[in-house]
Amino acid sequence: MRVKQLGDPVLREVSKSVEISAIQSGQHQQTLEEMKSILNGIQSISSENGNAISAPQVGAPIRLVLLRVEGEFLPMFNPSFEALDNETFLFEEECFSFYQIRGKVVRYLNIRVDYVDEKGESQSIKFSGEFSGIAQHEIDHLDGVLFIDRVEDSKSIRSIDFVFAEQPQRLVQVKKMFDYMVG
- Beta strands in the chain, from DSSP E residues, in sequence order: 52-54, 64-69, 72-83, 88-93, 101-108, 110-116, 122-128, 158-159
Q: How far apart are CA 106 and CA 3, in angstroms?
A: 25
Residue whose C-alpha is closest to residue 118's, from 69, 71, 76, 81: 76
Helix, strand and coil in the chain, % to nearest 5: 40, 30, 30
Q: Which residues are known binding-site members for Fe cation?
A: 95, 137, 141
Question: Which among 82, 118, 130, 138 is annotated as catalytic?
Answer: 138
Q: Is the C-alpha dihedral spanning 56, 61, 62, 63 positive or negative?
A: positive
| Residues making up the binding site | 95, 137, 141
Listing DSSP states for 5-31 in one string gives -TT-GGGGSPPBPPPGGGTTSHHHHHH
Q: What are phi and psi of 105, to 5 degrees?
A: -130, 140
**Known catalytic membership, residue 138:** yes
Give the residue numbers annotated as catalytic, written as ranges: 138
